[in-house]
Structure 1
Amino acid sequence: MSALLLDTAPLRSSPEYRRLWIGLTLAGVGSQLGVTAVALQVYELTRSSFAVGLVGLVSFVPLVVLGLYGGALVDAHDRRRVIVLSSAALLVASVLIAGQAWLDVGSVVLLLGLVALQSAAFAVNSPARTAIIPMLVPVEQLPAANALGTLSMNLGVTVGPLVGGLLVGTVGFGPAYTIDVVTLLVALVTVLSLPPLPPLGGARKAGLASVLEGLRLLRGWRNVRMTFLLDICAMVLSQPRALFPAVGAVLIGGGATTAGVLASSVAVGSVLASLVSGPLGRVHRHGVAIAVSVAAWGAAIVAFGLVLLLASPSAAHTGSVTSTAVPWASWHLWAACTALAAAGAADAVSSVFRQTVLQSAAPDWARGRLQGVFIVVVAGGPRLGDLVAGADADALGEALAAVVGGVACVLAVVVLMAWQRGFLRYDARDPVP
């Protein structure tokens, strides 16, 4: 039985990794709380799923630009220093977002601008945090460390949206954003205790040439490139997050609390998958595992959309995210949560193996830049997916938007595997980028 459970060896063997993990978990809770509150505030101000999707667009642009350049910075400078400075910038952006809520400014344009600033800081911070993991744990513990990282991320995505939805529905946006500020402050303190972490093999100059070199590597490193393309299938084509405010306000009812429950359901599935991730360390065919799990994500999103098709708008639903009358007895709510939990479990498996392929197949001298690309895809993909889902929802309705997106994801996986069959033969015992 113990072989099925999460392997916590990296937490026991590396105090530095343990501190990083604690800080990352706290920051994840706060940031996901903030993401939920921003989506709800935008919907409350506009009553438009497309406007919620625009949050993804304004996050995506700085994430692409600074995600790629941030990876080059990580390869060129002490990674601890990069983490500390970018964490401080994240904290400042979150303070400003909380301020606009407490002052009741009510400006969507201002809120979107502050979200863009926050995204820029995240674009540098995240690849730095991820690139140092192979410097803190031995290579044989990388799958376990990545499973722990997935657990950390999904604890944030579980607790953050749920608490954010409850706070917005009961005491308002200001207190919700303030919790985000507090968690980021504590996370900053934890990373200050890390030792200096200069790049192995010496620093490299950060600049456009360095960024372009990292992108050129992907042309030849087909297996690493395919991990990115498969994640794009899931996160851009079938990301349901922008649909949640409207689902809570109009389709199922319950407003912000329902939106938070739906967002948390994805993470609950991921957490449960992470807790029984012990056998993943014994899986060697990582390419097959990634392809199957991404297709499973798409199928689960189709199921979510089918549930929404059976839920019709009711006059009892207020249309406001501040409604707190959650329909706990509704089978639509529980069926939607189950489908989203299945999607989250599939995403957790995909995440573990995609990270492991990148960290084991790519050399240290390129790891920061490739982690920058990874962050653009992993964090930027869902933001672009928010825009796609929001636009589809305005044109087709939230239910059909989910169904169409899930089907598109599954079909895209089939096409990619037919195009590059060699990825299905990728073996962790002989990692080839």
Structure 2
Amino acid sequence: MLRQRAGTVEHATATGQHPDPQPNHQKTARGREGHQPCPPCHARHGARLVSPGKARTESADFRQRRTATRRQHGWVIDKRDSPLRDASFRRVWIGATVSAAGDAASWVALVAYAWGSTDGSVATLAVLYTAPVAVGGLVAGWALDRYDRRWLLAVDSLARAAVFATIPLAAAGGGLTAVQLYLVAAVYGLLKMTSLAGFPALIPELVPPKQLMAANALESAGFGIAGLVGAVGAGVAVATVGPGYVVAFDVLSYLLFALCLLSARVGPRSARQARTAGPAKTARAGGGLGPVLRLLVREPVLRDTTIMFALFNIGEGALLVLLPERAVEYGLGPGGYGYLIAAVTGGELLAALALLRWSWRPSLTRSVVAAALVAAVAVLAVLVPSPWAALVGLAGLGGCAAAMTTWAQTLRMGAAPAEAHGRLFALLRTLMQATPPLGAALAALTLRDGVAATVLAICALMAVPALAFARDLAAAGDSYRTMKGTPPEPDAPAAGDRYRTIEGAPPEPDAPAAGDRYQTVEGTPPEPHAPAAGDRA
């Protein structure tokens, strides 16, 4: 066997000994200038001397070629194409993540205040914290499509900072009451959907189409990190320094998010100019949720994934009621419920990080169906007596849920025009927020028949819709032709929109093959005969 190292030629036989050992074979090129290996070995092995500098250069070239090959075949995502390299997206993402961590922390603080108040009720606080989302979500979607999303999110953050600042000030003066807690919680619920739907609606204005998948994965990872760090940090802070400092941190997080938004740029044209160009103004002239609802019913990707996710979330809501009981049965102690929830969050983070690192090449619609089925199987681990098996299964559930969210959000951004993103994401996320309480009611009914009945009901809610919509989603996925990082064709349609509806019009001589309703369009100038950009509705 021949082993070459920088500046050294080593010869070894199967027994590890050279047939004709010579001292000069272990000399470097620097120490034995002009040295050549012995003729027998040179003829038998083709050995040659390599200078240290040349060896390092060849090694670096090999690593670069290997990395380039992986990027060319789509195995890994080029870090140079990461959305975080864009300063505007990076600022908004950091601000949104810190603000979400503040929200998770302030909820723990509000519960602590209500729990310590003589006339406070945690149940009433929870209702006021969540119920107004149904009303505020619809108004937020309309506002996000009508006004500049960046400025609207900034104003929303400043307004919530002002409202939450009243709590530590009142607490410091000794005048904090349960009514004030309820009012602050109601304002938060009313404005919650502005940021929850506004950030994903703003993503296509911050990154190019080929980075949407990574940007959506980053959004999912950011919320996962925020929920975990915010809740754990708030628990420690409430026990040590008091809930007032936790709410003050939330106020600062709102101010930081507003600053990040105002310092970001949304492309060569403002978002409002982009949304009011061409037929988009006519589409919005109808106003309201009517066009969005018709789009939701007509598009299989939007319709099927919405029903799937709504039922999936009912199952997760039931699981949140089931896990405390299982934690007691596992003997995990007072923190057992937190351990099980942390496993779900950990799986979500791992999946989001994996999607950031590795390029996902299979069909997104088929992947959503497969992930739902795997999640249903993972839930069965809760029936196993071992807590370790439950932790692994819950981590798998979290990973599948995070991947499904990222893939479905990417599909929705392509299936709907940019002019409707605000109303669409507000409507969808409002529906998602409304279904988990139904899961809690389901768990209360099924737990009478035992844990197995509840787990099987959860599995059915996750798996049955996926099986029912599998064929429809597969057909819809085939109509989306995603060009992952490939250069645009010379005859590509109008710029700026990844998908263009080709409905009823005869194909152009240079048009793609029949059956492709949606084309990926990346960065090409508009054709004279192409439809207006973004108009799919």
The answer to whether the Cα contact below 8 Å between 1:300 and 1:342 also exists between their aligned partners in 2 is: yes
5 Å-filtered alignment, 1:20-419, equals: 20-38=92-110, 57-96=127-166, 107=178, 111-195=181-265, 196-198=270-272, 200-202=274-276, 209-239=287-317, 240-241=319-320, 255=334, 259-278=337-356, 281-304=359-382, 306=383, 332=387, 336-378=390-432, 380-381=433-434, 384-385=435-436, 387-391=437-441, 404=454, 407-415=457-465, 417-418=467-468
Secondary structure of 2:481 counterpart: coil
CA offsets 1:230-260 (integer angstroms, 9 cap, x no match)? 21122223224466778789985654x5555
Partner amino acid, structure 2, of 1:18: R
Return closer, same or farther for 1:393/1:410 CA change in 2, 3 Å cut-off: closer
The answer to whether the Cα contact below 8 Å between 1:247 and 1:398 also exists between their aligned partners in 2 is: no
Partner amino acid, structure 2, of 1:118: Y
RMSD: 3.9
Q: How far, CA to CA, are the matches of 2:336 and 2:459 in structure 1?
A: 25
Secondary structure of 2:160 counterpart: helix
Q: How far, CA to CA, are the matches of 2:328 and 2:234 in structure 1?
A: 16
The answer to whether the Cα contact below 8 Å between 2:154 and 2:261 also exists between their aligned partners in 1 is: yes
Q: How far, CA to CA, are the matches of 1:39 and 1:298 in structure 2?
A: 32
Return closer, same or farther for 1:337/1:163 CA change in 2, 3 Å cut-off: farther
Return closer, same or farther for 1:253/1:416 CA change in 2, 3 Å cut-off: closer
Secondary structure of 1:210 counterpart: coil
The answer to whether the Cα contact below 8 Å between 2:154 and 2:257 also exists between their aligned partners in 1 is: no
TM-score by length of 1: 0.77
Higher helix share: 1
CA offsets 1:116-146 (integer angstroms, 9 cap, x no match)? 3112212122322211211111111111111
Gaps of 5+ in 2: 1-66, 483-498, 500-517, 519-535
The offset of 1:300, in angstroms, is: 3.6
Partner amino acid, structure 1, of 2:374: A
Partner amino acid, structure 2, of 1:157: G
CA offsets 1:13-49 (integer angstroms, 9 cap, x no match)? 4211111111111112212223445567767889xxx
Gaps of 5+ in 1: 311-330
The answer to whether the Cα contact below 8 Å between 2:88 and 2:264 also exists between their aligned partners in 1 is: yes
Q: How far, CA to CA, are the matches of 2:141 and 2:407 in structure 1?
A: 21
The offset of 1:53, in angstroms, is: 7.3
Paired position in structure 1 for 2:489: none
Paired position in structure 2 for 1:14: 86
Is 1:429 equivalent to 2:507 in the alignment?
no
Partner amino acid, structure 1, of 2:481: R
Secondary structure of 1:200 counterpart: helix
Return closer, same or farther for 1:419/1:175 CA change in 2, 3 Å cut-off: same
Q: How far, CA to CA, are the matches of 2:328 and 2:183 in structure 1?
A: 25
Partner amino acid, structure 2, of 1:349: A
CA offsets 1:266-305 (integer angstroms, 9 cap, x no match)? 222111112222576433411121122233334444434x
Secondary structure of 1:421 counterpart: helix
CA offsets 1:350-409 (integer angstroms, 9 cap, x no match)? 11101100112211122221121232134x14xx41x33544565666996796266335
Q: How far, CA to CA, are the matches of 1:396 and 1:42 in structure 2?
A: 31
Return closer, same or farther for 1:160/1:150 CA change in 2, 3 Å cut-off: same
The offset of 1:55, in angstroms, is: 6.0
The answer to whether the Cα contact below 8 Å between 1:74 and 1:368 also exists between their aligned partners in 2 is: yes
Q: How far, CA to CA, are the matches of 1:405 and 1:97 in structure 2?
A: 41
Partner amino acid, structure 1, of 2:95: G
Secondary structure of 2:271 counterpart: coil
The answer to whether the Cα contact below 8 Å between 1:55 and 1:112 also exists between their aligned partners in 2 is: yes
Q: How far, CA to CA, are the matches of 1:70 and 1:407 in structure 2?
A: 34
Return closer, same or farther for 1:390/1:236 CA change in 2, 3 Å cut-off: closer
Q: How far, CA to CA, are the matches of 1:388 and 1:17 in structure 2?
A: 36
The answer to whether the Cα contact below 8 Å between 1:163 and 1:260 also exists between their aligned partners in 2 is: no
Return closer, same or farther for 1:279/1:16 CA change in 2, 3 Å cut-off: closer
Return closer, same or farther for 1:57/1:298 CA change in 2, 3 Å cut-off: farther
Query: Of the two structures, which has the highest relative contact order with CA contacts closer than 8 Å and spacing of 6 or more?
Result: 1
Partner amino acid, structure 2, of 1:404: T
Return closer, same or farther for 1:140/1:227 CA change in 2, 3 Å cut-off: same
Q: How far, CA to CA, are the matches of 1:406 and 1:96 in structure 2?
A: 46
Give the percent of matched residue pairs that are identical in Structure 1 and Structure 2: 25
Q: How far, CA to CA, are the matches of 2:445 and 2:363 in structure 1?
A: 40
Q: How far, CA to CA, are the matches of 1:396 and 1:45 in structure 2?
A: 34
Secondary structure of 1:283 counterpart: coil
Q: How far, CA to CA, are the matches of 2:389 and 2:135 in structure 1?
A: 39
Q: How far, CA to CA, are the matches of 1:112 and 1:60 in structure 2?
A: 11
The structure with more radius of gyration: 2
Q: How far, CA to CA, are the matches of 2:229 and 2:419 in structure 1?
A: 36
